[in-house]
Structure 1
Amino acid sequence: MSGVRPTPVNPRYAATIAPPVMEARRWIDGVSFPEDRPLINLSQAAPVAPPPEPLRQAMAEALLTVPESHLYGPVLGLPVLRAELAIQWSTGYGGVIRPDQVAVTAGCNQAFTSTLSTLAGAGDAVILPTPWYFNHKMWLDMEGVEAKLLPTGDDLLPNPEEAETLICDRTRAIILVSPNNPGGVEYPAALLRAFYDLAKRHGLALILDETYRDFHSQTGAPHDLFTDPDWDETLIHLYSFSKAYRLTGHRVGAVMASPTRLIEVEKFLDTVAICPPQIGQIGALWGMRHLGDWLAGERLEILRRRDALVSGFQRLPGWQLLGCGAYFAYAKHPFSQPSDQVAQRLVHDAGILVLPGTMFGPAKDQGGNGQAEATLRIAFANADAEGLSDVVDRLAQLST
């Protein structure tokens, strides 16, 4: 009806980018792919296969025989799952994590949003390396929290000394992801320790997202931060069950932080979701207790796919892998066009869907260093070695 005033939209939401994976999917709407060159979708880091059958059977049995699985559960998660996480993380990291330092969330994104909300509000600031994980940046933008961007070079590793220059009286936290999304790089233990010491020295939180820890190329603990008896005064650890046990649709993640912090996190969780999904938690617990060998095999398969892609890129002139690990490769392309145009060109010219670096960092006209326009993220874990060989072949056929 003309003359009717539209309902308002929060201007911070209006200024936030659209969900990148959904945006990329629109690029393939109406596009036909020939039978001999079907679409290879490497845009999203999500397992496409269901969980192992024994895990599905355990979840189905709970659905049928455990009446309380249909009810609201504890806001911070099932006590038995919190306790199992505390036990296994204490063993794996060589530190002491108590159940009251663990909360279960409806996915790792909720683990991030809930903890960040207890730390910072509109007008506050956090330090965020680029390339960033886009949902982290989106949440900061929607909440009005300034992201003080920490550029990285071709090694994709953030520099603690440069980070220290960004700290001001509004800074509340440093955010790291390792193994990194989107870069695939694994932050060395010494680098994580340096950032931990920096955060501790300035009274900041270090939010460390380790969603992809199960696919680290090194065995053993990726860092020693949990060995500090007062780790929870500085470190906030985030985890996801989505990749480890293929539980993406069941939304199960975790936060490890101080009990005082989790009291505040509980307020967020109760307001947003009331409790994490019960069946997903039951599946996560069963997986932790019974699928250690299976998960070890999954890790080796991901490492084989990583090696296949690294080998393949060695025969691609003009391309450069900046990082490759866990679920992701981050590559410099050889084309003169910016990465958002290159990514859309790949759909039509190669039948490949990847995400452009412009979804993970600032463009030059936004103060970026040009890395965003020059790079692409490849979610290689979604293709087997044969499929990745096909990816390389298709890229090799493109003209610069």
Structure 2
Amino acid sequence: MPSEAVTTLQPVPMLDFARQFSQIREEILAAVESVCTSQRFILGPEVSSFERAAAEACSVAHGIGCASGTDALWLALAAAHIGDSTEAVPAATSDAVITSPFSFFATASAILRAGAKPIFADIEPLTFNLSAASVQTAIEANPHLNVKAVLPVHLYGQCADWDSFTALQRNHPGLLLIEDAAQAFGATWNGAPAGSLGDAACFSFYPTKNLSAIGDAGLVTTKSPTLAERASMLRAHGMRRRYFHDEIGWNSRLDTIQAAVLEIKLKHLPAWNQQRRDLAARYNQLFLAAGLLSSSGAIADGLVLPYTHPRAQHVFHQYVIRAPRRDELREFLTQRKIGTEVYYPLPLHLQESLASLGYRAGDFPESERAAAEVLALPMYPELREDEQQTVVEAIRSFYA
């Protein structure tokens, strides 16, 4: 198809929530009506039911629902006594948590909210996930800090290299591993689900996620009864008994309606995640057939497709390519009403609000390179094959 004809291609939205809702409309409306009839809107029975179902799906003993994925990160850190931000008068602390600069802002802001210091380490270029080797370097470079935890992010729906992180933990007794699994419900590493790999894990159910609420919602999972009990207490103003506040907690309860919707969707999630993997495989085939792929692994030679580690089962929350002239390509696709997104255009260490951490451009070259090259394409279970063909044809036309 000549490039001037691309304007006749059909629009392809980045996401289309209506398609999923139309398939489960009656189930969702019945669940919402049941909650409205019961009038149990806060921590109703549907919350504990979803918590049990989600914990079982993650192969852990405990799930603690909360108001958002951001709150889940804070709850996990605070429950583990990182930063001591729950004290009435916070003491000076040198607690630190090492994480990725190539992530959503909440990964770092939750560490600060907990009263600890975020320390960044660079990513692996193939998976975009935090590099355990870079974490080891960061630990050695900050001997004056008490590194309490590492917070790897399972970015785009693929688990970080957990074998390397467990080896790191063995070499540093007392170091906690907390998963930022916000984008990875249903992903696995060596067959073990995200949410069961670390000492605790944090999920987001923001509407764009592969397991999504109809608003904000989050979850902490853990095998530890101590962490679970403390997280449950902290999400409800520090109460173990009503109106008796043992600590300074927060209001981060999971709405009953959100829990009811999430439990409905959780039943469908394995099939939806498989559809995402099938769509990713089809994208790969279409790009290969279009002759758009880099032979060297560098974008100077063409597109670089998502890499799946052989020990990981990816859920493709996002299908993210590396693209030459990324911003020009995105504008070209936007003009043709083909949705895309950049996750994330500016690494955290270069964000203005985190300038006090003292990082500069060039400190994390792999993260900075990824920020300049990544482009997320339309990806949701209901995406049609003809729509994928439209996306690939438009991209082929741009580079032609």
- TM-score by structure 2 length? 0.68
Task: Choose the corresponding residue for 1:193, options 153, 166, 178.
Answer: 166
| Residues 381, 197 of structure 1: alpha-carbon distance in 2 compared, 3 angstrom cutoff | farther
| Structure 2 CA distance for partners of 1:239 and 1:352, relative to 1, 3 Å | closer
For 1:224 and 1:379, the matched residues in 2 are separated by: 26
Deviation, 1:320, is: 1.0
User: After superposition, what is the alpha-carbon deviation per residue over 1:69-122, rounded to whole angstroms, capped at 9, x for unaligned?
Assistant: 23x337x99444434444x24xx64xxx44xx4311123332113223452368
State whether structure 2 residue 319 is matched by structure 1 residue 329.
Answer: yes
1:299 aligns with 2:260: no
- Alignment match, 1:150: 121
Q: Report whether the alignment pairs 1:280 with 2:258.
A: yes
Quote the offset at 1:251 in angstroms. 2.3
Q: Is the 8 A contact 2:97 2:148 kept in 1?
A: yes
Give the AA of the match of 2:175.
L
> Equivalent residue of 1:127, what SS?
strand
Q: Which residue of 1 aligns with 2:3?
A: none
- Aligned match of 2:99: 128
Residue number in structure 2 paired with 1:4: none
1:235 corresponds, among 162, 183, 199, to 199
Superposition deviation, residue 285 in structure 1: 3.8
Contact in 2 for aligned 1:125/1:170 (Cα 8 Å): yes
The amino acid across from 2:51 in the alignment is R
- Uncovered stretches (5+) of structure 2, i.e. residues with no partner: 1-5, 86-92, 238-249, 294-301, 309-313, 351-359
Where do residues 256-267 of structure 1 align in structure 2 (5 Å cutoff)? 256=222, 258-266=224-232
Q: How far is 1:127 from its partner?
A: 1.2
Distance 1:46 1:254, change over 3 A: farther
Which secondary structure does the structure 1 equivalent of 2:43 belong to? coil
Contact (CA 8 Å) 1:323, 1:330: kept in 2 or not?
A: no
How far the C-alpha of 1:310 sits from its partner, in A, is 1.8
Count of paired positions: 336
Instruction: Flag the 1:174–1:255 CA change in 2: closer, same or farther, 3 A.
Output: same
For normalisation by structure 1, the TM-score amounts to 0.68
2:149 to 163, 169, 173: 173
Question: Which whole-Å CA distance do the structure 2 matches of 1:146 and 1:309 have between them?
Answer: 40
Q: Is contact 2:123-2:130 (8 Å) kept?
A: yes
Q: Which moved more, 1:52-61 or 1:188-197?
A: 188-197
CA shift digits 1:247-304 (9 cap, x unpaired): 242625333263433454345423443521011223334555xx3xx33321221111
Shift of 1:204: 2.3
Measure the CA separation in 2 of the matches of 1:367 and 1:45: 38
Match of 1:115 among 54, 57, 76: 76
Q: How does 1:378-393 map to 2 (within 5 A)?
A: 378-382=376-380, 383-393=383-393
Report the AA paired with residue 163 of structure 2: A
Q: Look up the match of 1:354.
A: 341
- CA distance in structure 2 between the partners assigned to 1:256 and 1:47 by the alignment: 33
CA deviation vs aligned residue, 1:165-196 (integer Å, no higher than 9, x gap): 21243322211233x23xx5443553353355
Aligned to 2:364: 368
CA distance, structure 2, for counterparts of residue 349 and residue 224 of structure 1: 39
SS in 2 for 1:132: coil
Aligned to 1:73: 43
The question of whether the paired residues in 1 share the 8 Å contact of 2:343 and 2:374 is answered with: yes
- Residue 175 of structure 2 is matched in structure 1 by 204
- Give the 3 Å change call, closer, same or farther, for CA 188–55 of structure 1 in structure 2: farther
Deviation at 1:349, TM superposition (A): 7.0
Distance in 1 (alpha carbons) for counterparts of 2:112 and 2:18: 28
Contact kept? 1:323, 1:331, Cα under 8 Å = no
Give identity over the alignment, percent.
Answer: 14
| Deviation at residue 144 of structure 1 after TM alignment | 7.1
| Contact preservation (8 Å) 1:250, 1:279 | no
Instruction: Give the Cα separation in 2 of the matches to 1:47 and 1:146.
Output: 41
Q: Distance in 1 between matches of 2:336 and 2:216?
A: 36
Q: 1: distance between equivalents of 2:349 and 2:51?
A: 38
Q: Structure 1 pair 225/287, CA: closer, same or farther in 2 (3 Å)?
A: closer
- Specify the alignment match of 1:216 in structure 2: 187
Is the counterpart of residue 249 in structure 1 residue 215 in structure 2?
yes
* Residue from 51, 64, 69 that aligns with 1:82: 51
CA contact (8 A) 1:361 1:372 kept: no
Corresponding position of 1:25: none
